[in-house]
Structure 1
């Protein structure tokens, strides 16, 4: 996310932030998202904790929401797949409802809202890219073809490679992130573990997970 956030929007109070999980209580499953995006013709993938569960082939823990990522330029195409819904931009404790283009440029996270209930159903990350090359928003030197970073379940649901999911989780290393790391690494190939160690050394030098790998 850009350090220079746009003006406007709604600053959430501590009480509103605390109540956000209730607004995500009816979020979709990965299968439901995949059904709505069938044939869209742009790369996309399930990200974060749900991506790791798709890698495992089973749900390993509860999830408060579901996140997918897309190339930023493909957002209009994705938005058109959800008529009757509204996308809000979100970041740093602030929400921009039905945001202007300049807000979308500055904030990478977008929440799909059901206007009838006010509940959120899907979190869409609009990621930097160069054509068919994915660019890591943590380190723009890291550029990989989408075909290399997107894996698929047996029923065709795309998800982010686990080594990249864990790279993103390493920044905060919350309790759930550490649990995801410990649950996932034993099931990764030696090549995947080596890639994760290299990426951590580049993006988060001296991170404690490097020694564990």
Structure 2
């Protein structure tokens, strides 16, 4: 979910699954890999790998990873060590992890906020879904973030990268009507004065 000048040697999706399946929490693959799991094919090179957990589970995650992994909070362009048993304040929603003794970062953990069994979109709290509806599962049993939610995070960012546009174009033809209209409605809520991706969705509707 982030471009940076740090050194990355990302784990594979399978390696992430091997680590996270041992931790008693809900988790999902996010970012570009989530969209490739949805499409059931690798569409481009991925420079990093993202996972998502719920805020209520972040200490459990730390307890299971702290022996082997060094973890930092990413905030406003800085990496801050995540201290043992430190409850993360609401502004912290992005953790980077690397093997102890290594210099390359291996994966990111994004933290979702929830209210009454709903995922809440941080950029606009009016956008939400039931937790049971935010993820899908690959044929090999890997949980991943639903494509319409991942595209909202990409399109709703302050900076839309070339790879985000590539992802949108790859995924649009595969979205169901329900997913398509949820994405369009959500972008319209976040950007009531318009947004380039809303225009893309409008144009796509007209030719299909």
Residue 208 in structure 1 maps to residue 196 in structure 2:
yes
Question: 1:119 is matched with which residue?
Answer: 104
Residue 98 in structure 1 maps to residue 86 in structure 2:
no
**Within 2, Cα distance between the matches of 1:187 and 1:133?**
25
**Within 2, Cα distance between the matches of 1:119 and 1:98?**
17
Residue among 47, 51, 54 paired with 1:64: 47
Question: 1:199 is matched with which residue?
Answer: 186
Unpaired runs of 5+ residues, structure 1, are 1-16
Q: TM-score normalised to the size of structure 2?
A: 0.86
Residue 34 in structure 1 maps to residue 17 in structure 2:
yes
| Contact 1:89-1:104 at 8 Å conserved across structures | no
Cα drift, residue 43 of structure 1: 1.9
| Contact 1:36-1:81 at 8 Å conserved across structures | no
**Within 2, Cα distance between the matches of 1:60 and 1:51?**
11
Q: How does 1:1-213 map to 2 (within 5 A)?
A: 18=5, 20=6, 23-25=7-9, 27-38=10-21, 40-82=23-65, 83-99=67-83, 101=86, 104-130=89-115, 132-170=117-155, 171=157, 172-205=159-192, 206-213=194-201
Q: TM-score normalised to the size of structure 1?
A: 0.84
Deviations 1:66-116 (CA, angstroms, capped at 9, x unpaired): 111111110111122322212101122211023473765432110012221
Question: 2:205 is matched with which residue?
Answer: none
- Larger mean Cα displacement after TM superposition, 81-90 or 47-56: 81-90
**Within 1, Cα distance between the matches of 2:23 and 2:131?**
15
Secondary structure of 2:64's aligned partner: coil
